[in-house]
Amino acid sequence: MTSASDSDLRGAGSGKGPAGQGSRGAGSGSAGAGSGSGKGPVNEATSSSPGWTGAVGEPTRFLLLRHGQTPMSIDRRYSGSKSNPSLTDFGRKQARAAADRLGMGDWDITGIVASPQARALETAEFCADELGLDLHVDHDLRETDFGEWEGLTFGEAHARDRDVHDAWLTNPELPPPGGEAFRTVDDRVAEARRRIVTAHGTGTILVVSHVTPVKALLRQGLGTGFELFTRLHLDLASLSVAEFYADGPTSVTLINDTAHLR
């Protein structure tokens, strides 16, 4: 008999909300063009639509992979840049499944860049081994610093700092006590994005990171406001795609694809 954990690798703790907690915002479980069907992307490496954006040439395509499950994601605790848990056994299965998906050749991946934190690096190493590519690290792809809320659940942080917690959910300029504001995270992720574009040029780059940096890149690709941070759901070990053109236009072609985890 196949167990639930073997047949569905989405697993407990995948419902990470605005900052590592369990709220599913609008768009939860949804994906962009070609996702959610269980069949994977169709000609994803060439499916850009520059006619819709007015873009000229080929984009730098960011294939965004969120890390697999950790002990803190099981309990839905704030797990930011100050915590460094490794993957659980289940998280390693998720990472292996993602690597196998990437190895199928749906995307012509030419480079891998990851957060320096253990959970992202371990996930990225599965992919690097599968793809036969070198793994590079960019420290600006690390998770948000949740300050004094690090290790707390959403409910515990809310009970501890009710007014600040409520305000933080709607104000990207406001950091958690002793932590980092969403706008600060977004700014440093944008710097990482520019470095990656400069280093790799056009083509598809696998970026292995955390829920907030992935949301930041999707926000930048969509050109939308910071409300995306609290309304968009991303599963553990999910795949998304954001494209950035040299002449300015951007697009998002895939969000929260988990076909490889089912």
Question: 25 near 230, Cβ under 8 Å?
Answer: yes
Spatial separation of the C-alpha atoms in residues 15 and 18, rounded to whole Å: 10
Could you tell me which of 60, 72, 7, 53 has the C-alpha nearest to residue 211? 72
Is 143 a residue of the active site? yes
Residue type, 244: F
Tell me how far apart the alpha carbons of residues 255 and 242 are, in angstroms, rounded to a whole number.
9
Is 67 a known active-site residue?
Answer: yes
Contact between residue 196 and residue 113 where contact means Cβ atoms under 8 Å apart: yes
Burial category of 239 from C-beta neighbours within 10 Å (exposed 0-12, middle 13-18, buried 19 and up): buried
Give the C-alpha separation, 219 to 222, whole Å: 5
* 233 vs 235: CA distance, rounded Å: 7
DSSP state of 179: S
Point out the catalytic residue in the list 122, 130, 143, 243: 143
Which residue among 44, 67, 210, 260 is the active-site one?
Answer: 67
Q: Judging by beta carbons within 10 Å of its beta carbon (0-12, 13-18, 19+), is residue 227 exposed, middle or buried?
A: middle
> What residues act catalytically?
67, 143
